[in-house]
Amino acid sequence: MSVATSALRCSLLALLIVAVSGLLSGWWWFAELLVSLRVQQLCVLVPLVVLAFLLRTCWRWRLLGVVLLFWHIWWLRSAWISDGRSVEQGLSAADLTVCVSNVQADNPDMESVLRSLRACDADVIAVLELTTALRIRLQSEFAADYPYFIFAEREPGHFGIGVLSRLPLRSSAVVNYRLPSVPSIEAQLELRGGDRVHLIATHPRPPMDAWQHRMRNEHLDVLAARVVELRAASQLPVIVMGDLNVTPWSPTFARFQDRAGLRSVTAGGGLEPTWYSRPYFVFGLVLDHVLHTEGIGSLRRRILPGSGSDHRAVLVDLRLE
């Protein structure tokens, strides 16, 4: 057996272990990190499978490579396949345009952040990682265009959050789904035609260790129950937007969607990442989301240019069904 063949088999075996470990992502924080890297795993796997055929390795190893390819492609299917419930583009204008922007608390380029938020021209903007300094600038410079707002800044700011709106916020509150240090915002938004929707802006902790993984999952569980509660109590549609610190191809994301009865506007939108916007992380991750319940359809989703943050803002046109 050649050195190349041995290395190939070891690599395929390692990728198999990583793929199987991903099934534990709901309980094991490290597995959550692995499933977040499905695209990167494919980038490694494709040349390995090609090499396996070129070297004419044992058919079992070639079969293993092909099975792993289809395994990851199956999980990534939402990148290319819409849920089939989006509003047909071109039929009508948007009733509501929302933008979610994680500005990065320690971003030194505040002017780029402000220019990006102005340029998005959304009806509602959710600002994540909001610091006191940015909140002061937003209140002083955006008040004319966005007269309705609610802020819950934090220092150093990694879980600060704010919502700015051109449309009336008939009710709004800062809420905690799991930790007081991680606030979310709930609001009832009145659209131009008089219809109302519930809006939730949120930013769970990243699953970077066992405790944060548990807190993130509990946050999403409580949020899912809250969406169901709001929907049942008022019969109004619900929009959830934020950096959820989970990719669309994670079982955790699928479970959250199912429990909350939410549709993701990311479905069918491709693999373009929202984090890390800088070039030395190949393909990055899709962490910033807009989801909605029945009663709302998505017209268009755009990922905006960078503003000095490690995230890129997401702009979505929505329409009442």
For range 298-317, the mean pLDDT? 91
End-to-end CA distance of the chain: 62
Per-residue pLDDT, 277: 58
Kindly report the pTM of this predicted structure.
Answer: 0.91
Distance between CA 123 and CA 198 in Å, rounded? Answer: 14
Homologous superfamily of domain range 96-320: Endonuclease/exonuclease/phosphatase (3.60.10.10)
| Contact by Cβ (8 Å): 221, 26 | no
Residues in Cβ contact with 180 at an 8 Å cutoff, skipping those fewer than 6 apart: none
Per-residue pLDDT, 83: 66
Question: In the predicted model, what is the mean pLDDT of the chain?
Answer: 90
Q: Render pLDDT for 76-92 as a digit per residue (tens, 0 to 9).
A: 988 888 765 555 454 45
Is residue 117's pLDDT more than 80?
A: yes
User: Does the CA dihedral 293-126-199-216 come out positive or negative?
Assistant: positive
Length of the chain as a residue count: 321
Q: Render pLDDT for 125-182 as a digit per residue (tens, 0 to 9).
A: 999 999 999 999 999 999 999 999 999 998 887 899 999 999 999 999 999 998 888 9
pLDDT band of residue 222 (cuts 50, 70, 90) is very high
User: Does the CA dihedral 55-60-63-69 come out positive or negative?
Assistant: negative
3-state secondary structure the chain: CCHHHHHHHHHHHHHHHHHHHHHHCCCCHHHHHHHHCHHHHHHHHHHHHHHHHHCCCCHHHHHHHHHHHHHHHHHCHHHCCCCCCCCCCCCCCCCEEEEEEECCCCCCCHHHHHHHHHHHCCCEEEEECCCHHHHHHHHHHCCCCCCEEEEECCCCCCCCEEEEECCCEEEEEEEECCCCCCEEEEEEEECCCCCEEEEEEECCCCCCCHHHHHHHHHHHHHHHHHHHHHHHHHCCCEEEEEECCCCCCCHHHHHHHHHHCCEECCCCCCCCCCECCCCCCCCCECCEEEEECCCEEEEEEEECCCCCCCECCEEEEEEEC
| Contact by Cβ (8 Å): 168, 189 | yes
